[in-house]
Structure 1
Amino acid sequence: MTVEARRRPRDRRAHILAAAAHRFWSDGYHRVSMAAIAADVGIGASALYRHFRGKEELLLTVLDAQLTAIEALDGDFTAALTAFTLEHREFGVLWEREAGHLPEADRRALRHRLRGLAERVAAPLEAQAELRSWAILSVLDSPSHHHTDLDHGRFADILRAAVRAVAAAPLPDAVPVPSAPRPAGLHPVSRREALLAVAARLFAERGYPSVGLDDIGAAAGIAGPSVYHHFPSKIEVLAAALNRGNEALWLGLHRALARATDAADALDRLVAHYTDFAAENAAIVGILVTEVIHLPEERRQDFRRAQRDYLAEWVELLRRDDAGLPEAEARVRVHAAISLVNSLSRIHHLRVVPGHPARTAALARAVLHS
């Protein structure tokens, strides 16, 4: 072999980052080894460690590199960001699902930069600019959460139309802040329910791998051994919490269908239910978005199938209401609308503003009908 053939390619670091981003996105950070990433690039693990000290540093570098590329976009920022997100569909999932593996200081720095992007999107907007800016970012981030195969040009057209709809959609007037604070409400006496509620919150805040059964028991005020009387393992807690959310969404869908006069009415009712559910159950929505990947393979596939079936109901209603709309294009709109609701429900300072669910629902409807 000649010296030229053995020479290290100049763009090896870029190849490593691209391979790592795809692996983390498709398989989940916790399932990916440095050896697997090295093999994808065609190098040995020792060569990979010359570039990165470990998987955590590699994940941070992937997120930093993609954010840096986004920050460097010029011209029409949302148009440029649309093109970028279709070429780099990993970023949204990596931030939402995997950033919890990073040290808090690094996560805080990344969050600050994301707020900078939101401010950049908000600059040309008028009423409710902050709300609309985060909604726009969630729409542009939505391709990260699905694998719909569509011509990039048409895909970009749909996303740009959704962005315009979010920017222009009429929103309900702000609801006056009540003079008395909202009561905290009551809690069930069941220990199993207490454990589920606490587990959903902890999984959403810290990520499933960082939470132990003892953590859940302590947060619920239940002694460690007693936790095992209700759940034999942590994975059973996660499965129960995910099923609770999934079943609630299906019940809401059946109720919307049963009361609707036509497809448009059913879709409106479904948006209203989903938005109200997300606003009141942000932790459940969080784990539905980010933690399913931790289920064992067979259970994960069953759950993904149920999620796809639920989304298919939205797609069918939208196509009935918008005759001639191709299925793939309807799916892109539905994913964008649901991503918008999911995102806005988990931004605390927005979620606690009176009237937030109604405004979120109006934006989601605008995306569906963009």
Structure 2
Amino acid sequence: MTTAVTARDRAKAERTDAILVAAAELFAARGYSGVSLEDIGAAVGVSGPAVYRHFAGKQALLGALLVGVSERLIDGGSAVASVAGSSLARMRGLVSFHVEFALGNAEVIRVQDRDLAHLTEESRADVRRLQRAYIELWIDSLAALVPDDRDALRMRVQACFGLINSTPHSTSTALRRHIDTSRLLNAMALAALQADG
């Protein structure tokens, strides 16, 4: 038997999502240690204690943010890989997916890079497990295009992530508007992945 979703359930889910978005923006701007639950609550129009209705505390909120984004990456990447018709189409699809993710989630990438150490051991292990699965998905796809061993393919994939993930917060918004950032990043990433050794 399924339970109908009520308006109250929807409102709570929307507030939870808003808290996660606000937390990502604030953590990215000030770092995990520079943000309080009161700051996050104020950003979404509730008191700090009201945030506890959604998350057990600031560390749990960080865990939900970073584990959640890792789940989105593996789910989205798997969906892209499953529908591609050829090896090259699969790789292009993965690159395009990751570029769009990086351009749309610069704050979360910054938080991941800087504040991973603040996670609980369990959440950190979950993030690492999901990241490894995402990397393996890319390696499996790249192996059909580049005749290299898995260690070399892993290096290519991780270097590609570095290229893509650095761009949203290493260039200005004005510059990203001036050039077709997505198209350029796609071309650069594909070239880097398949570069002659």
Give the C-alpha shift of residue 315 in structure 1: 1.3
Give the equivalent residue in structure 1 for 2:146.
322
Segments of 5+ residues of structure 2 without an aligned counterpart are: 1-9
Q: Which amino acid aligns with 1:272?
A: S
Return the alpha-carbon distance in structure 1 between the equivalents of residues 79 and 179 of structure 2: 25
TM-score normalized with structure 1 length: 0.47
* 2:121 is the alignment partner of 1:303: no
Segments of 5+ residues of structure 1 without an aligned counterpart are: 1-187
Give the equivalent residue in structure 1 for 2:29.
205
Give the C-alpha shift of residue 291 in structure 1: 2.2
* 2:161 is the alignment partner of 1:312: no
What is the total number of aligned residue pairs between the two structures?
182
Give the C-alpha shift of residue 348 in structure 1: 4.6
Q: Which amino acid aligns with 2:89?
A: D
Of stretches 225-234 and 295-304 in structure 1, the one that deviates more from structure 2 is: 295-304
Return the alpha-carbon distance in structure 2 between the equivalents of residues 245 and 299 of structure 1: 12
Deviations 1:154-196 (A, max 9, x none): xxxxxxxxxxxxxxxxxxxxxxxxxxxxxxxxxx962211111
TM-score normalized with structure 2 length: 0.85
* 2:99 is the alignment partner of 1:243: no
Give the equivalent residue in structure 2 for 1:331.
154
SS in 1 for 2:144: helix
SS in 2 for 1:346: helix
Return the alpha-carbon distance in structure 2 between the equivalents of residues 241 and 250 of structure 1: 15
Give the equivalent residue in structure 1 for 2:103.
279
Identical positions, percent: 36
Return the alpha-carbon distance in structure 2 between the equivalents of residues 220 and 253 of structure 1: 31
Return the alpha-carbon distance in structure 2 between the equivalents of residues 288 and 316 of structure 1: 24
8 A contact 1:344–1:351 mirrored in 2: no
Return the alpha-carbon distance in structure 1 between the equivalents of residues 177 and 52 of structure 2: 35
8 A contact 2:145–2:194 mirrored in 1: no
Give the equivalent residue in structure 2 for 1:218.
42
Give the equivalent residue in structure 1 for 2:167.
344
Give the equivalent residue in structure 2 for 1:141.
none
Return the alpha-carbon distance in structure 1 between the equivalents of residues 33 and 75 of structure 2: 30
Relative to structure 1, is the Cα distance of residues 313 and 286 closer, same or farther in structure 2, using a 3 angstrom cutoff? same
Return the alpha-carbon distance in structure 1 between the equivalents of residues 74 and 54 of structure 2: 25
8 A contact 1:257–1:266 mirrored in 2: yes
Structure index of larger Rg? 1
Give the C-alpha shift of residue 267 in structure 1: 0.9
Give the equivalent residue in structure 2 for 1:367.
192
| Larger RCO of the pair (alpha carbons < 8 Å, separation 6+) | 2
Give the C-alpha shift of residue 243 in structure 1: 2.4
Q: Which amino acid aligns with 2:103?
A: A
SS in 2 for 1:321: coil
How does 1:1-370 map onto structure 2 within 5 Å?
190-323=14-147, 325-349=148-172, 350-370=175-195
Deviations 1:325-369 (A, max 9, x none): 011111111111100110002235144445211111111111101
Deviations 1:305-326 (A, max 9, x none): 2111211111121112113x01
Return the alpha-carbon distance in structure 2 between the equivalents of residues 331 and 202 of structure 1: 32
Q: Which amino acid aligns with 1:365?
A: L
